[in-house]
Amino acid sequence: MSVMATPWKHPKSGVFYFRRQVPADIRNGIGRSEWKVSLKTKELSVARPRFAAESARCEEAFAAAREQLAGRSRVIASDAPKLADRWASGVMDGWERQPESIADFLVVTDGDTLPASDVVDADSSKARLVTVEPFIRQSLKTHHLPLPDEAEPAHRALVESFFQRWLQLCQLAARRHRGDWSTPLHLQAAQAPLQAERQQKPEVTAPTLSEVFEAWADDKRLTDGDTRSTQKTVNDFSSTINRFIELFGDLAVSQITRVQCQEFRALLGRFPARGKGTRGLSARELIAKAEAENMPTVELTTVRKQLRALSAVLNFAVQRLDVIKEEPISASGMLKGIAKAAKRSATRTAEDKHYTRAELLTIFRSPVFTGQWKPPRADFGQALYWLPLLMLYTGARREELAQMLVSDVGQDEDTGIWYLSIQPGDDKTIKTGSSRRKVPLHADLLELGFLNYVRSLSVSGRLFPKLQPHPVNGYGHAIGKVWAKYLKVVVKLTTQASPSHGFRHSFKTLCREAGIETAVSDWITGHAPVNVGGSYGSNPLRRMAEELQRFPSIAAEAGLLNKPTVPVEVSPHSDHQIPAEAI
């Protein structure tokens, strides 16, 4: 088939087409044997000018392919939006690494910070050229491409494409300056190949993202053990990977670029943080709902957490599987940029994370601690009474306490100090190596009757036998949800503190107020030492117990110690009880 001098009319649809056979010597560069493009009209008078324009584009592509075949690259007009989008993407990557670089697109006039585009005459072709020519030259240099002659269509297309993106970047920089770091700039053309890059696609041999994730998950289980903690991490990472696949497809990891990761980062920031009617919606539907209903979107810390999950899986593809050479998220520097931005826009300060003294008193004067309230459906035994008290007085994590065995309550032979032993095994998990520890029991817990409660249980059983384990989130999952609802609905507590983890922050705060040495409070809570020397030796139980005497008696302030201790239902089977002399 030679060049068709007139548009070709499809015999069935009646739509006109441009058709031309691609010469054999450049078919690999063009990527097809026939150049066939719909002119999108059934009117010959409309088709003819479109035919002429497509013919010129076709000739330009053929010429560029021959230049490439001869070892000389060339820019064509259709490359312009792709180069402009790649440049804009690089600019935005730079903003993530160095937020202050947005100043390059802003001007200060009479004390006001404005988009730089406000002081440029957009109607002047000379002004447009002067504004973007440095960016065009730098972009072409990066791609090892020559600058087209000013008379060529490619040159005009480059100026127009770069100027349009420059205008958008100026407006976006102004939004960033005002604190809006979530509004994205969609750069779809950045991923399209340039004419000089077009060649027969090599066979994709790299594994897909889902395949790499499965390999990473298997390695995680082998390394850390197939525990609930490991499975929770795998599930959390799986949510992020599935979201990426839903948005972009299950790509080979070699096809995941910095540009895609940047777009993923922008999309993550548009998801709703919470709200009714979100369950069962697709990713795109969730974003649309959030925007239509002006719903609060996820915080930057959440975006960063999800990007770190994707980064870890892609890094596994680099370091362990050796199937890609670069991990695009870390390479782009976006995580550091988000971390800085998250600190600036944090919605909760350190003070917000713990319960205030007044909130603690409200909690421990509430009906569950005065025997006036029980959950209407679930039966957690006495866990709703003891878990909050234990979290407050030990600073331990909810799951560390909820999963405990009766045998984890012990008395030191040398000092007589009562303690909780937090350690893995017997369907128990810990978060880190430093989480393995012994925690002395505060005198208030003993006076409230905690040991009497322990004596009422089977020696071989669990400390809270009514708690049933969630396959991923452990023994504290269900009671944690009920506790959160209790604080909101029954106590009507208004606080930014996390329902359970807030006690851990409160413990550290009260320790500081009481003058308890930081190192000792870290021993009690299982926080890692700040230096290598801190990891040598053991943490003396006596020293911890002595320091803990300074901890304030919140139970007394709340009036609990002036009331009868919580009733204990002692099992009638004496052989299932801990002997008094053993407790």
46-81 pLDDT, tens digit per residue, is 888 888 888 877 887 787 777 666 556 678 888 999
Tens digit of each residue's pLDDT (9 = 90 or more) over 178-235: 998 888 888 988 888 887 776 544 444 789 999 999 999 999 989 888 888 888 889 9
Edge-first strand listing for the sheet containing 418-422: 409-411, 418-422, 437-440
Burial (CB count within 10 angstroms: exposed 0-12, middle 13-18, buried 19+), residue 282: exposed
Strand partners for 9: 16
The confidence band for 491, taking pLDDT boundaries of 50, 70 and 90, is very high
The confidence band for 470, taking pLDDT boundaries of 50, 70 and 90, is confident
- Cα–Cα distance measured from residue 198 to residue 64, given in angstroms and rounded to the nearest whole number: 10
Strand partners for 107: 114
- Cα–Cα distance measured from residue 246 to residue 401, given in angstroms and rounded to the nearest whole number: 38
pLDDT-wise least confident of 4-8, 39-43, 49-53, 181-185: 4-8
Listed by start position, the domains of the chain span: 8-69, 77-197, 209-347, 351-582
Which whole-number Å values give the CA distances from 407 to 80, 402, 454, 562, 572, in the listed order? 71, 14, 9, 30, 20
The confidence band for 351, taking pLDDT boundaries of 50, 70 and 90, is low
Locus of tokens 């070699």? 254
Closest CA to 453 of 486, 418, 479: 418
Tens digit of each residue's pLDDT (9 = 90 or more) over 246-273: 888 888 999 899 888 988 998 998 999 8
Look at domain 351-582 and name its CATH class: mainly alpha
Closest CA to 354 of 523, 479, 495: 495
Angle of helix 383-394 versus helix 501-514 axis, rounded to 10: 40
Check whether 395 has a pLDDT greater than 70: yes
pTM higher than 0.75:
no
- Cα–Cα distance measured from residue 489 to residue 478, given in angstroms and rounded to the nearest whole number: 17
Let me know: does 297 contact 290? Beta carbons within 8 Å. yes
Closest CA to 18 of 47, 59, 43: 47
Mean pLDDT of all residues in 386-394: 96
